[in-house]
Structure 1
Amino acid sequence: MDEHFTAGQNAPLSTRTVRFTATASVLLDLCAFVVDDRLQVTSSDDAVFYNQPATTGVRIDGDAIVVDVDAIRPGARVLCAVGCERPVPVATCLTVATGRTVATFHVEPGAGTETALLCWEIYRHRDTWKVRALGQGYAGGLVEMFTAHGVDVEAPPEISATDAAQVQGEEVPTPAVGLSPLEMLWRIFEDAARSTAAYTSSIEFARQRLDDELSAAVTDPARRTGPEAERVRGRAQRRYDALVEAAESRYRDDSAALAAELLTLDATLPPALASWTSPAWKRANTASDGVLIGELTADHEFLRIPFGLPAPLSRPLWVEGDPAELGPVVSSLVVRLLAARPGTLVHLVDPGRSLAELEALTAARFAGPPVHDRAQVPAKLRGLADALDLDVLAQQVDGGVPTSPVLVVLGGFPYGYDHEDLLQIVRITRSVGGGRISVVLAGDPPDDDDPVVRILRSDAQTLPVDGRLADPWTGGRWVFTPDRLPTETEHLRGVLDGNSLQD
């Protein structure tokens, strides 16, 4: 047995121990029931879920449910199921202990309302263990499913994706209720990551199945050539095409839903996280817990996901690239940081004059004249480091109220700075200001960098102008494209000048 099942399809089970796994664009709760011929449990002990991880013959093992058919009591069968936080397609898989796939089944929630799905039935027919794809859903979620199979549920059981993640040692996302703007964007990113991983898994399964069928066809000398060989290859290709088409259709639907959610969300985000065309840039100042720094796309490019960082910056942010080309990227970042924290004052050091557009746009926020003359750089950095140290000392001694937030922007870095300048920059980046100080460095480091530059690189978070990163949920690879300041900036001045612009 090694095939993709449709609802109702059954086949002999070729292994004595089978692992049930499932993936979707949201977190899932795996569960199982050991039931009789009427599909009822003997007692609530026959249900397996995060808070009751094992019964005789069935257990949770990491992100899988393992069924040992030889240990199942006589006359019983096993139902494998999932619960999800909202109705989404679910890709399920049965494998052996070595990881080899023996069967897959994609379950679609009926009428778009079902948040609990029966996926597989493992049962004995005469002397043979078999498996059947089910696909039955429950609009009432896990509570309805548990009750339908005779499990005593006195109150809604706390079988949530968050709790399951805690049991399995995964990072637990913030609950949907009360999410901050940055957390909402990260939740959509997580949904996109899981949807993309499910799509990739489906395509890989289809490709592996095609390879296996074509390989099996050529092992029989009588079927390697001629009309029969052509029919075998044709059937294999048609099955592959159907699987790919179904996977792409599901992925496009998921991506369209997320894109619609992003479009609606964009109008409600604070300026620092919103698109440049959002009406947020024409409203009064609104603080933000994060700043948009770019967008992510998967290799399939069905969807573009906004990508943000917390504000204020917890670490120096080093924007790497040719200083002559970094202007729009650094300008976008600085404008968004200023929008995120109304009242922030900017200290700009730019010996190479690579950020001229930024100067014109943010002049109202400067704490003093920008420094362009190389000879003035040491005094500026030393004075700023001393002032920050005194401010921190005042807070420690008498609990003085800190002054306005500070954003330090260093252009043409590190070529426009000598060793002593770099030491002063380390002092600035390591000032303890309770989130008051954010530092942006812009430029390419030299190959044989100064030891102090290495310290700064170690302390800083790097923002590549073009690069790739892995998402923290599935390890999927994403292409990162940094945000750039738009060519038309007049609509931004209301926020940057501290005033409100009317539509």
Structure 2
Amino acid sequence: MAVEFRAGQNAPLAAPSVRFTATASVPLDLCALVVDTHLQVASSQDVVFYNQPQTAGVRLDGDALVVEPGRVRPDAEKVLCAVGTELVTPVDTTLTDTAGTPLATFRIEPVAGETALLCWEIYRRGGDWKIRALGQGYAGGLAELFTAHGVEVDDPEPAPPPAPQEVPPLETGATCVRMWQIFEDASRSAAAYVQAHEYAHHRLDEELSAAVADLSARTGDAAEQARARAHRRCDELVAAAEVRYSDDSEQLIAELAALEESLPAALASWDAPAWRRPGEAADGVRIGEVTAPDRGPLRVPFCVPVPLGRPLWVDGDAEAAAPVASALALRLLASRPGSLLHVVDPAGAMRQLTDLAGSLLAAPPVHEVSGVGAKLKGLADAADLDSLAASAGVDAHRPEPRVLVVSGLPHGYGSDDLLHLVRLTQLAATQQISMIFTGTEDEDVDSPAYPILAEAAQHVPSDEGRFVDPWTRTDWQFVSDAGPSDPERIRAVVRSLECRRQEI
């Protein structure tokens, strides 16, 4: 059975001949480069592709590329097996022996528009040969791959400058999706940059190791020149990757700036024109931004869809979490014009919100522990009745959208209070209740409802945290939205929400 390889994994090659094949959803061009220790070809004769189907030890054989290491020119160190495609697509590759028995497989998924992929290297190690899975991609296609390894490529006719890209109009109910698409583009671009950076330094290590392998050539001008060439090539690869990533980031920054004018308030920045327009519903709310300061200035809004499928839990003590919870509450109110606000705040941390947004409250806020139980029981009972009426087909008045902020969990809340919150959590999505919790984790709480709440919620840091994107597993820094720092700006937001409510 063939071993499924990961990028960078290597193994001995026992077979005297190996066949390289690849499959994808689109046609592929197989090619090979016979290179030295510096990953450079000696001449154009070291390239095997459809216009030059063979060289010493390497040949194209139908839809396969055959490598016979024992026949490769003696001063060559590696054979690089690659593919080129017209479209960006995942590629499955296989190495087999002369009898067709699979030796190794490797799946490559391009992350940033690469249309040429280095798949495998077959390389000398002492007197033996080994195989290694690579996975390095080139957005410039085979021309860029060939040039990076010393192949002279005829310059194509210069292409006309691209027309300025127009941002397509936002579709109603698709704005949150668009923001996630931009984040996905940013993630794939970042992954390509990280991968290219790692490949450049991997290649540098290989070349420097080769330079010191020969004891007689470790010193002198030739050795210094070899090391200088290795560092120069590494710097060139890193610089090229940085330029590509910078260009991608600038394009995404421009796209975000163009979208800002048309985003609904719940997804826009606090100074955006949306807060001065008549109320418009949104399909999501902005809860923060993702950024990578070491990779540049790009900051991508992080949004979640509404109605909320899970409560949002701002981690941290009540005071530290209050600004983020307040910002979330205002955005959720904006996402559903006419929404009503309920606040349960026995710690008194949400007083700025309740003081400034008093006109948006459905009922007086609860600031005393003694009032918590009655408030939560009343909300849970009302949600139960509305749910029963809906399931029975009663033509009842549909409840208005509600935003519930519960501050300072678990302190000040009894076991029954937590059970009422579990009931509300289970009914929230169908009863248009968006829930925001704040609090710190406490393993000593003697209530089975508490871990249920903690697990059911989507947790948000009260300041900054680490986020790994779901597409490429790239690290990002998440910065929570703490809302406007100026109370007058908050008043302006509240006035905007009041106007929306009066128009309903």
Q: What is the TM-score when the length of structure 1 is the normalising length? A: 0.71
Distance change in 2, residues 1:381/1:65 (3 Å): closer
Say which SS state the counterpart of residue 259 (structure 2) adopts.
helix
User: Equivalences for 1:90-105 in 2 at 5 Å?
Assistant: 92-96=117-121, 100=132
**Residue 491, structure 1, aligned to residue 489, structure 2:** no
- 299, 318, 329: which one aligns with 1:334: 329
- 1:227 aligns to 2:254 (yes or no): no
The offset of 1:210, in angstroms, is 0.6
> Once the two structures are superposed, what CA deviation does each residue of 1:279-326 show, in whole Å capped at 9, x if it has no partner?
111111110000000011136332111100011211111111121111
Tell me the CA shift for residue 206 of structure 1: 0.3
- The answer on whether the counterparts of 1:20 and 1:66 sit within 8 Å (CA) in structure 2 is yes
Q: CA deviation at 1:331?
A: 0.8
Among candidates 304, 308, 320, match of residue 309 of structure 1 = 304
Aligned counterpart, 2:404: 408
Write out per-residue CA displacement over residues 137-190 of structure 1, whole angstroms, 9 at most, x where no aligned residue.
999xxxxxxxxxxxxxxxxxxxxxxxxxxxxxxxxxxxx988711011001001
* Alignment-derived partner of residue 386 in structure 2: 391
* 1:376 equivalenced with 2:377 (yes/no): no
Q: How far 1:464 sits from its partner (Å)? A: 2.2
**Residues 179 and 391 from structure 1, CA distance in 2 versus in 1: closer, same or farther, beyond 3 angstroms?**
closer
Q: Percent identity?
A: 40
Instruction: Map Cα deviations across residues 400-451 of structure 1 (whole Å, 9 max, x no partner).
Output: 2311011111011111211121111111111265251111111112132332
Cα distance between partner residues in 2 of 1:15 and 1:239: 31
Pick from 316, 340, 362: which aligns with 1:367? 362
Q: Against the structure 1 CA distance between its residues 99 and 300, is the aligned structure 2 distance closer, same or farther, given a 3 Å change threshold?
A: farther
2:422 corresponds to which of 415, 420, 426: 426
**Residue 495 of structure 1: CA displacement?**
2.6
Structure-2 change in CA distance of 1:299 and 1:64 (3 Å): farther
Task: Establish whether residue 462 from structure 1 lines up as the match of residue 456 from structure 2.
Answer: no
The CA RMSD measured in Å over matched residues stands at: 3.9
Counterpart residue identity of residue 415, structure 1: H
Letter paired with 1:425: L
Q: Over residues 374-393 of structure 1, what are the superposed CA-to-partner deviations in whole Å (9 max), with x where a residue is unaligned?
A: 11111111111111111111
Aligned to 1:200, the other structure's residue is in SS state helix
1:259 is aligned to 253
What are the equivalent positions in structure 2 for 1:127-206 lying under 5 Å apart? 180-206=174-200
**1:375 and 1:310 mapped to 2: Cα distance?**
34
Q: How far apart in 1 are the matches of 2:279 and 2:173? A: 20
Give deviations 1:101-122, integer Å, cap 9, x for gaps: 56956343xxxxxxxx666999
TM-score by length of 2: 0.71
- Counterpart residue number, 1:147: none
Change (3 A) 1:367 1:102: closer
Single out whichever of 346-355 and 442-451 deviates more from structure 2. 442-451
Which amino acid in 2 is paired with 1:246?
A: A
Query: CA–CA distance in 2 between the matches of 1:238 and 1:387?
Result: 70
Change (3 A) 1:102 1:286: closer
Counterpart check, 1:437 vs 2:464: no
State the partner residue of 1:142.
none
Quote the residue 1:5 is aligned against: none
Q: Distance in 2 between matches of 1:342 and 1:266?
A: 20
- In structure 1, the partner of 2:93 is 66
Cα shift readout 1:189-236 (whole Å, capped 9, x = no counterpart):
010010001101100000001111111111111122232222121111
Q: Which AA in structure 1 matches 2:381?
A: D
Distance 2:284 2:291 in 1: 20
Structure 2, unmatched stretches of 5+, are 1-15, 32-48, 52-61, 66-82, 99-108, 123-129, 160-169
Q: Secondary structure at the match of 2:499?
A: coil
Distance 1:299 1:94, change over 3 A: farther
Structure 2 residue identity aligned to 1:428: L
Does the C-alpha gap of structure 1 residues 318 and 436 become closer, same or farther in structure 2, counting only changes over 3 Å? Answer: same
Partner-residue secondary structure (3-state), 1:182: helix
- 1:200 and 1:132 map into 2 onto residues whose CA distance is 27
Judge conservation of contact 2:410–2:445 (CA < 8 Å) in 1: no
Rounded to whole Å, the distance in 2 between the matches of 1:121 and 1:230 is 27
Hey, what's the Cα distance between the residues in 2 that align with 1:286 and 1:350?
29
Question: Structure 1 residue 479: deviation in Å?
Answer: 1.1
- Cα distance in structure 2, aligned partners of 1:93 and 1:179: 41
Q: 1:385 to 1:329 in 2, by over 3 A?
A: same
Cα gap change, 1:395/1:135 in structure 2, threshold over 3 Å: closer, same or farther? farther
Question: Are the aligned partners of 1:362 and 1:496 in contact in 2 as well (CA < 8 Å)?
Answer: no
C-alpha distance in structure 2 between counterparts of 1:38 and 1:213, whole Å: 29
Question: In 2 relative to 1, CA 202–425 (structure 1 residues): closer, same or farther, beyond 3 Å?
Answer: same
Which residue type is aligned with residue 381 of structure 1?
L
SS of alignment partner, residue 440 of structure 2: coil
The equivalent of 2:291 in structure 1 is 297
Q: Distance in 1 between matches of 2:134 and 2:407?
A: 57
Q: Is the 8 A contact 1:392 1:432 kept in 2?
A: no
**Distance (whole Å) between structure 2 residues aligned to residue 413 and residue 183 of structure 1:** 32
Pick the aligned partner of 1:475 from 473, 476, 500: 473
CA displacement at 1:492 relative to structure 2: 1.1
- Cα distance 1:83–1:455, how it changes in 2: closer, same or farther (>3 A)? closer
Q: After superposition, what is the alpha-carbon deviation per residue over 1:224-274, rounded to whole angstroms, capped at 9, x for unaligned?
A: 223222212111111111111111111111101101101111111000000
Q: Distance in 1 between matches of 2:408 and 2:207?
A: 58
- Name the CA distance, whole Å, in 2 between partners of 1:491 and 1:432: 29
Say which SS state the counterpart of residue 93 (structure 1) adopts: strand
Q: Which residue number corresponds to residue 162 of structure 1?
A: none
Aligned equivalents of 1:251, 1:244: Cα separation in 2: 10
Do the aligned partners of residues 410 and 92 (structure 1) sit closer, same or farther apart at CA in structure 2, a change above 3 Å counting?
same
Please tell me whether the aligned partners of residues 107 and 119 of structure 1 are also in contact (alpha carbons under 8 angstroms): no
User: Is 2:308–2:429's contact at 8 Å kept on the other side of the alignment?
Assistant: no
Specify every segment of 5 or more residues in structure 1 that has no aligned partner in the other structure, as ranges.
Answer: 1-13, 22-27, 40-54, 72-81, 109-116, 123-130, 140-175
Q: Deviations over 1:308-367 (max 9, x none)?
A: 001121111111112111121111111100000111111100011101221123222211
